[in-house]
Structure 1
């Protein structure tokens, strides 16, 4: 078994060169003394060193490093220093934290609790940002004395601030906290970073002139309504591949998750709530995280299309459209190539028009499948005549089982 160096001897060597507060000294030996805080660990080391020096001095063998070590120990050694050297020791600030860490740990938890409550949260997690110069000094010291059992000042800050904030009535949540609070040392700033509020549900729209875009979600009246009701500053969307302009979204609608950032409201509306705005709506459904993580490649879109083809009889259109069932289509749309399967095509003749129910993989575009623009095969290609989708409604986006 590898021999572990004597921590008192190591601490003596460190203090012979650097002044350290109890907490910063103890942190260098955080892997020793289970159940102790770093402040307790550091004070214990200082007391052990102090007693060794005192015992040696009583035997007339005070070590040559005694004056420097006792000075760098600070208040703990003032009495013995005066006894041995007849004066008060020089006041030196901690080499690592500049004597600011204890006060920081006392004042910051209240700032964290206030920030969490201001954002309407009950659960939290602490993040820490430490001045690079402080980190550099600590790492330099560890490397110089080959100290392998310490922890970082960042780790101690997160643990101690978090523990004290819990004592103020907050509940820590490592998986999905309402608010992450980033604390900065040594400035003492506490910056709240609220978790995005997730609202999942079924999106529908009755107006053909509306479009919900993942790139510009705030342009839709529904997202404007969500931003207002949750007091949020920004919004993102998951689960929406596209929302075609000119196509209503009816029936089963589109499963979608709205990610609302900077939200002052910390919980989603109850399941079944319908949020409406100017012809668009969201029916709140189920577990937001589960909906957001759904595999989009397993989705199928179901459309109702009313089709007309100049120079082709409705019977010809019906036959050609239904022959698309089961075929794989490749499409080049907006500069990218996609492929998928036409899962179903069932049609009825209505006068000079043909009404079809067409289901196809999420990646495919139904308008292009009909018109032939960048699509192979297509209804127009099969007919040898130009087919037009006069009217289209999306009846639902469903997952394949």
Structure 2
């Protein structure tokens, strides 16, 4: 009963903040639910639960619904991020906890959710039977049935997006979104993650546990608030770049590259071994300090290699790298220093956020163990998030921290309202430009 009394004391202490973050073991959640504590549920608009994949999702969701009279979305993670602990990157290895993030009705005026079934069953079976155009059409048909009265006003509405992490459908989803043309809100989110060996990365959309789906959570902020989007990675471009001359978007492989000074495609492994002065069997280790990026709307979006397949002579990526895409070799920098610099530049002229949601690539956690505890720029306001199997920032990308931060107009007016419309046009045009580049490259290779 001591825990229940303590929790009531927290709720009664002053007015409820717009964003709250807390972490609980399953046992504590059971006790709170048994005590009948409702966590001011009448004032809660949305609950996000970040759940280690070793826990029972149905049980967690059932316990949360006993506490909250609000939508409760759960996502499987490859690690959690929170400002409520000792460091940003949470370690749940010894005592798994559920990280809970609450958003009040004073902040979120409207929340609408839709679940899209993704055409990925063949991919999950290790096959590739469906063409990209058919995948896009199946997703587009479901999108056409969505009809929400969410305000398109810049800075007030966004779509928090979860995609099952083994579906490989992130880019087809976003192509279908831009093809539809009705959703001008920014899409930000990530691909659900899991602990090593789990083999599945589900999310719970209030109705069921999903493994082959995408969740689109349309959010409209109250007129007194606004949001800003943030993106950071720890890579700088080198002077070396290539065009993708042979790839498989379903398998996410790249087998051939076209060098700028050459008109003939060459094996990707051969090209990189020559560039990095190593043997094929050394390439995997040599790439630890490098990644790749594709230009999108004047910015570089990271696409990282998951492994070098010496048997099939190709590179496996964590993200779809289509035929005709430009790949720029990127050199790794200090994760903590670059994140701090990027956030300070972003925050200049803005008040302190009321809270935020973070989507961070699992590779940032794995590849920079000595840097994680040095990131301190988010510790003074309530944030939560998770390590993903790929981030979504208008388009799919890797090894990047993506975030949405919330602000009050009372703390300072929003000066970047028109930026979202420019981003929408840029991201929408990216897929069309990519198709045009691919057609021209195919002709150049075919008739050289």
TM bucket (normalised to shorter chain) is under 0.3
Give the structure with higher Rg (CA). 1
Q: TM-score, normalised by structure 2?
A: 0.21
Q: Which has the higher strand share?
A: 2
Structure with larger RCO (C-alpha < 8 A, sep 6+): 2
Q: TM-score, normalised by structure 1?
A: 0.23
